[in-house]
Amino acid sequence: MLRISKRAEMRKTHQGLVRLAAIVASLIAMSGWIMVIGHNPIMVYTAMLDGCFGSMYRFLETLKFTIPLSIAALGIMMAFKMKFWNIGGEGQILMGAFAATYFALNFSELPKPMLLLLMMVSAIVMGGLWALIPAIFKVTFGTNETVFTLMLNYIALKYIIYLQYGPWKDPKAFGFPKIPNFTDNAILPKVLNLHVGWIILVIATIILYLVFHYTKLGFEVAVIGESENTARYAGMTVRRVVMKAVFLSGGLCGLVGMIQASAVSNTLTSEISAGIGYDAIIVAWLSNMNPLAVPVVGFLFAILSQGASYIQTAFQIPQSAADIIQGMILIFALSGEFFIKYKISLPERRSKGGQHA
């Protein structure tokens, strides 16, 4: 029988090697799958990279996916650090986008900087409030936040669809169920050919790093994540800290909604998030509670995702097959993390004689 036991802390270089080995192993395993579906693995891999870096346009597309993914991951990390399992990024993104859209559609005559600021703030507040609902229930009634946040995703999604087909339907779209496009002054500007979301990402990363390491809130969140008893013992008001941190977590996700609505789709659609809230969980997890790692992991994830969608068109590989490739890489990456924390050993063979028993 195999035995699993916890490791003492692994050296940084070894950790790097394990992660590298995980990626290599995943590439080898995927080659098998790619050959099964009748393609040359080397060519597919090259194409995946080509799809991400092959042209300026493709590269920018990859970055454009990195931005929302990473900001949402930062938000989710804030909650996860406290062991508040916020699976509701998706809903918080949608609700943030909803609030921003409200201002974009109704206050379009405002000067651009003011309107954009208003949209951002409202998106953060709305996303934060959406996350606050399960937090309040958790601290008051001890409800399970995992299911609660997840369910709120569906409510948010259906609400947006309702807006899209109902009250906010564009009368000029010839009956097509879409919400009107934003006017120019509700669209985020570009810096260096890429919308300013990337600057927001850089700032958010630094801020979260500072919060985790140099603020009282960060310290309190870390202690609560480790042990609520200790937090109460040390005189923390657990209730208040949980609500504060979850609000910020949802707020960052809400901000993602604003960025996507304003800079990417120029309007609100029910597809605005398209699973970012879920992918961000993986990115947060793989970043190991380190905010500085988030943009890097987010970028790698974006490469994977863009590459997978590129090979669909390049090789006529069906989407489901491409998704399998993406899933396999993730499983290997997560297993790598497992091997960093645990080791598996075989029981030693008895030295002399056969086995009794």
Decide: is 355 part of the binding site for another protein (CB under 8 A): yes
The structure tokens listed for 37 are 């579906």
Beta bridge partners of 3: 345
Decide: is 229 part of the binding site for another protein (CB under 8 A): yes
How many CB atoms lie under 10 A from the CB of residue 167? 8
Scanning residues 8 to 67, which ones bind another protein (CB under 8 A)?
A: 8
**In what helix (H) or strand (E) does residue 40 lie, and over which residues does it extend?**
none
Decide: is 226 part of the binding site for another protein (CB under 8 A): yes
Q: Which of 230, 288, 290, 319 binds another protein (CB under 8 A)?
A: 230
Decide: is 288 part of the binding site for another protein (CB under 8 A): no
Rg (CA), the chain: 23
The contacts of residue 337 (CB under 8 Å, 6+ apart) are: 286, 288
Q: Which of 111, 171, 175, 347 binds another protein (CB under 8 A)?
A: 347
Rounded Cα distance between 49 and 311, Å, is 10
Scanning residues 189 to 218, which ones bind another protein (CB under 8 A)?
A: 214-218
Rounded Cα distance between 182 and 267, Å, is 6
Q: Which of 234, 292, 334, 344 binds another protein (CB under 8 A)?
A: 234
8 vs 192 by CB, closer to another protein: 8
Task: For residue 308, give the amino acid letter.
Answer: A
**In what helix (H) or strand (E) does residue 59 lie, and over which residues does it extend?**
helix 56-81
Least distance from C-beta 118 to another protein, angstroms? 25
Decide: is 2 part of the binding site for another protein (CB under 8 A): no
Least distance from C-beta 349 to another protein, angstroms? 10
Instruction: Please name the residue that has the structure tokens 């990195």.
Output: 66
Least distance from C-beta 145 to another protein, angstroms? 21
215 vs 319 by CB, closer to another protein: 215
Rounded Cα distance between 168 and 91, Å, is 19
Q: Interface residues with another protein (CB under 8 A)?
A: 3, 5-8, 214-219, 222-223, 226-227, 229-230, 232-237, 347-348, 350-351, 353, 355-357
